[in-house]
Structure 1
């Protein structure tokens, strides 16, 4: 931990004991966990994140400092439904800070936090959701299916709105300043740059896409994790799957509503979650005039090729979500959207 002068000092003896017992094991599983911004010479404090988006924000904010940021969620896994093993608990215990999405969203993170508190482990807790104004769950969703602690019945996916995401950047910034006070100037400068030059630009570019659209309805062949996009830019997100699992067969009522939407708005292309079942999208194509589905993601996980390209929130917005919204809103044909080869790569992706 850092002392009041910003110097890096030793951790609790409990964590030292965990390191002795689990260090070899952790080194063996490091490749199975998520990404890290560490370099071979890093010996400063470590912050671990329970969710990809906030790992990405934190590594941008910590750039040029001694702080190492690690993503706990393995590549290819969705940050919400994933259940970690015991080694992740060790990882958090050994960390100097734990970035989490607030109570109620990731039960496994809540359990880890409770254990930290019960055992008096001094891992610093950084709640990225602090002070964020949440909207009500979409009417199609059951409040019992997904809650956020004391704000039961609220939609937790706030980070899809770049404006609200800026509040999480502020929360991370304050946490990292507390973690490494001597590097406060760099941390705050990075955060302000990221908000003004990245998130504000993403917000403006999303706004341009939705302003250009004649249609104000997006048909999703997935669960509705995208309501904040709709709220921010004045578009209605209509999920085919009205529960949060987005797996298995679609109910007749869901299919009927989707068929009516597709016919009413002359929809030819729909959006489907990258980390969700393909079956609902395929079923929708079989039973309507929809020609193809294209990818969207709530930034909850990453594919191996995205890690290889060092993609973060910004790159996923521009290479995955924005091209798809251009297509499903009817602004562009698939061949006109995204980088070269995008339509061929992502049409009816597997």
Structure 2
């Protein structure tokens, strides 16, 4: 389903109270404070990936800051009044989309209701999103696996409903988001429209190269499925590169696997001859380790939907593309027997 509503809307003041969320506030991983000291345009972002995309698009033309504290997912988080001041003092707010982060939805709502002069850019606009079905492996009476494909809409309790939001794990879909961000920034800074367009084109080329690298590296794989011992955020990778993703839990990053989930995962390992269990970087690896200890799987490999950066990745100067190339691709190649 393609998201189509335009989000480059202006508004004029933001309520200064805190917005609803789950985690305590903390300092962000970039210098925050709204307006740029040199008079250039500024944009705030509500999630690491869209912050990274916007930074690439805005290079040399505008400053982009990530509102979410270092190491946090940004799904559930309680921002203090300083976050709203930062948004109020900026020219644009880039967020994933309505329903992904409740606190960001509240900020957007306040911006619009109060008429703040802040453009709201919805990063998943015009992206073809997958339905939020439960694609976890189910064994039929005949022993065959089947995938739920369209009817099982679910809400995971953190704002995700009906559509799977993790589109950025497909580099081709990510390019549409980059274009949307470029258009949004140009709408508030027409003098630098050509810079945004050129930067977006250059980054889109990098995403095309990333896509081709995945295609080449995963070609000739000997397995057709991977098991992720965490939440179900990797379906776009599976769709793009034609392999099955079996996840231990649903879309919510804080989902806790049940004993039934563990038993089902053990069956997945047996039926798909899984050698390596994939463990999402920002989630506990306890279940992955347990599965390796109790089955014929031999090891645990990292995988990430890139909700943030580790300290090591930050020191390396990595962004979304670097993490995809240096973390996700090697793990998938090994897990799928493409090496």
| TM-score class, shorter | 0.7 to 0.9
Q: What displacement does 1:146 show?
A: 5.3
- Paired residue for 2:171, among 162, 167, 176? 162
Q: What displacement does 1:327 show?
A: 1.4
**Counterparts of 2:76 and 2:169, CA distance in 1:** 18
Q: What displacement does 1:265 show?
A: 2.5
- Paired residue for 1:74, among 69, 78, 82? 69
Q: Deviations over 1:19-66 (max 9, x none)?
A: xxxxxxxxxxx992033699x96431110001111111111111122x
Q: Is the 8 A contact 2:43 2:63 kept in 1?
A: yes
Q: What displacement does 1:104 show?
A: 0.7
Return closer, same or farther for 1:244/1:224 CA change in 2, 3 Å cut-off. Answer: same
Q: How many residues align?
A: 303
Return closer, same or farther for 1:243/1:313 CA change in 2, 3 Å cut-off. Answer: closer
**Counterparts of 1:205 and 1:323, CA distance in 2:** 11
For structure 2, the 5+ residue unaligned runs are 1-10, 17-24, 137-151
Q: Is the 8 A contact 1:241 1:280 kept in 2?
A: no
Q: Is residue 2:93 matched to residue 1:86?
A: no
Q: Is residue 2:308 matched to residue 1:301?
A: yes
The match for 1:145 is: 156
Q: Is the 8 A contact 1:47 1:96 kept in 2?
A: yes
Q: Is residue 2:186 matched to residue 1:177?
A: yes
Q: Is the 8 A contact 1:247 1:277 kept in 2?
A: no
Q: What displacement does 1:184 show?
A: 1.3
Structure with more of its chain in helix, by fraction: 1
Q: Is residue 2:338 matched to residue 1:331?
A: yes
Summarize the alignment of residues 49-128 of structure 1 with structure 2, pairs less than 5 Å apart.
49-65=45-61, 67-128=62-123
Q: What displacement does 1:235 show?
A: 0.7
Summarize the alignment of residues 1-350 of structure 1 with structure 2, pairs less than 5 Å apart.
32-35=27-30, 42-65=38-61, 67-139=62-134, 140=136, 143-145=154-156, 152-196=161-205, 198-242=206-250, 244-246=252-254, 248=256, 250-332=257-339
Q: Is the 8 A contact 1:37 1:59 kept in 2?
A: no
The match for 1:344 is: none
**Counterparts of 2:59 and 2:189, CA distance in 1:** 13
TM-score w.r.t. length of structure 1: 0.80
**Counterparts of 1:37 and 1:310, CA distance in 2:** 19
**Counterparts of 1:37 and 1:331, CA distance in 2:** 43
Secondary structure in 1 aligned to 2:94? strand
Q: What displacement does 1:138 show?
A: 3.2
TM-score w.r.t. length of structure 2: 0.82
Question: C-alpha root-mean-square deviation of aligned residues, in Å?
Answer: 2.6
Q: Is the 8 A contact 1:219 1:237 kept in 2?
A: yes
For structure 1, the 5+ residue unaligned runs are 1-10, 19-29, 333-350
